[in-house]
């Protein structure tokens, strides 16, 4: 073997070893993580950091182990004292007012805080990458983001062949509020082969009038479940509520569905599950497996 080549190889090998050691040092550094938002908690767990989580918000309920973690106050009003007492070496939170105030106090104490803004699917990938690099596990973050991306892409490709279905996405019925265009729910609707019937609004989740609903021509109505009440009960209530719009195609064809809220309303690693559930409702002919998925209304066509 050429002597020079040998030397180059040794140098390359040494550099690689040093880089590995640095990466390892960083990876082992973060041991105590506090997460203040349900979707960020899901990301942290999905990155395999679950056993290093020492605190979550009261609203963090997924995965199941997250429920057992010490509570750091509510999502809307985190408890700064409890967070400091948990001795975290990484705090992940969002960037709205209440979280920003807490983050500023924590930074004054000298604790590392990562403030994230995630309101679109693109920002979800970004959040995963940022948490990964802050926790020293970029090696896991990149594949996780890529996996979500490819799963969503598969749904998008499969749905793109079908005709676009007109969708009305209902957030709540008492004072009717729907998902507008400037939401990630709209992104899900579109990639699942649907089209939001709501025209652009200033409000992210506008409240709309009866007239708008009647003329929307919605072919499918999807209602994200509220609270912890049994989903079949909510389905019954929804059917009853929507009966007053008997002329709406979705109501006529009995395509009013109540679905689990967490996978579709939370920008986290379970988003592909949520998108798949939506796709099945919009294009059952393309997405439904032979085994029957008991999603929402069980009308035989």
Partner 1 sequence: MTELLTPKSLISKIALCLAVLVVVMFVCSLVGTQKISLSAVFAGPGDTPGQNTDYDIFVRVRIPRIILAALVGAALAASGVVLQAILRNPLAEPYILGISSGAALGVMTAAIAGISWSFVGGSPMAAMAFLFAIGTVWLVWFTGHLAGGSTVTSLLLAGVVINAFFSAVIMLMTSLIDSEQLRSTIMWLMGSIGEKDFSTLLASAIFIIAGIAVLFTISQKLNVLAFGAGEARSLGVNPRKITLVAFALASFITAVAVGLSGLVGFVGLVVPHSVRLVFGPDHRQLLPTSALLGAAFVVICDTIARTIIAPAQLPVGVITAIIGGPVFLILLSRYSKKVGNLR
- Binding segment for partner 1 (CB under 8 A), chosen from 128-136, 146-154, 198-206, 212-220, is 198-206
Q: Does residue 126 interact with partner 1 by CB under 8 A?
A: no
Q: Under 8 Å CB-to-CB from 41, ≥6 apart: which residues?
A: 35, 53, 56, 57, 60, 62, 66
Q: Does residue 108 interact with partner 1 by CB under 8 A?
A: yes
- Binding segment for partner 1 (CB under 8 A), chosen from 13-21, 133-141, 196-204, 209-217, is 196-204
Kindly tell me which of 193 and 206 has the beta carbon lying closer to partner 1. Answer: 206
Q: For residue 258, which phi and psi values (nearest 5 degrees)?
A: -100, 125
Q: How far apart are the first and last CA of the chain?
A: 74
Per-residue x/- track, 36-75, partner 1 (CB under 8 A): ----------------------x------------xxxx-
Q: Does residue 105 interact with partner 1 by CB under 8 A?
A: yes
Count the Cβ atoms, other than its own, within 10 Å of residue 143. Answer: 13
- Binding segment for partner 1 (CB under 8 A), chosen from 92-100, 145-153, 216-224, 255-263, is 92-100
| CB-based contact 223:257 (threshold 8 Å) | yes
The CA-atom distances, in angstroms, between 175 and each of 145, 171, 218 are 37, 10, 19
Q: Does residue 103 interact with partner 1 by CB under 8 A?
A: no
Q: Does residue 268 interact with partner 1 by CB under 8 A?
A: no
Q: Does residue 81 interact with partner 1 by CB under 8 A?
A: yes
Taking CB under 8 A as the criterion, the residue among 47, 53, 66, 111 binding partner 1 is 111
Q: Does residue 172 interact with partner 1 by CB under 8 A?
A: no
Residues that bind partner 1 (CB under 8 A): 58, 71-74, 76-77, 79-82, 84-85, 87-89, 96-98, 101-102, 104-105, 108-111, 119, 202-207
């Amino acid at each position: 073997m050429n002597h020079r080549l040998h030397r180059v190889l040794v140098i390359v090998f040494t550099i690689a070893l040093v880089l590995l050691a640095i990466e390892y040092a960083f990876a082992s550094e973060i041991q105590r993580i506090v997460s203040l938002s349900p979707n960020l908690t899901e990301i942290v767990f999905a990155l395999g950091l679950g056993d290093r989580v020492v605190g979550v918000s009261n609203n963090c309920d997924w995965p199941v182990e997250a429920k057992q973690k010490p509570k750091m106050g509510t999502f809307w009003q985190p408890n700064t004292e409890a967070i400091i007492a948990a001795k975290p070496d990484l705090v992940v939170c969002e960037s709205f007012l209440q979280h920003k105030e807490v983050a500023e106090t924590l930074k004054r104490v000298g604790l590392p805080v990562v403030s994230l803004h995630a309101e679109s699917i693109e920002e979800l990938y970004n959040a995963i990458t940022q948490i990964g690099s802050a926790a020293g596990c970029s090696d896991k973050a990149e594949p996780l983001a890529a996996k979500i991306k490819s799963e969503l892409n598969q749904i998008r490709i499969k749905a793109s062949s079908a005709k676009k279905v007109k969708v009305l996405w209902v957030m709540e019925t008492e004072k009717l509020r729907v998902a507008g265009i400037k939401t990630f729910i709209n992104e899900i609707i579109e990639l699942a082969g649907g089209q939001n019937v709501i025209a652009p609004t200033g409000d992210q989740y506008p409240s709309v009038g009866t007239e708008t609903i009647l003329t929307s021509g919605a072919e499918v109505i999807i209602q994200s479940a509220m609270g912890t009440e049994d989903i079949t009960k909510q389905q019954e209530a929804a059917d009853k509520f929507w009966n007053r719009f008997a002329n709406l195609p979705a109501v006529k064809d009995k395509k009013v569905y109540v679905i689990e809220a967490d996978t579709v309303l939370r920008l986290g690693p379970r988003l592909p599950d949520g998108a798949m559930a939506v796709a099945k409702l919009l294009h059952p002919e393309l997405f439904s497996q032979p085994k029957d998925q008991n999603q929402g209304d069980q009308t035989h066509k």
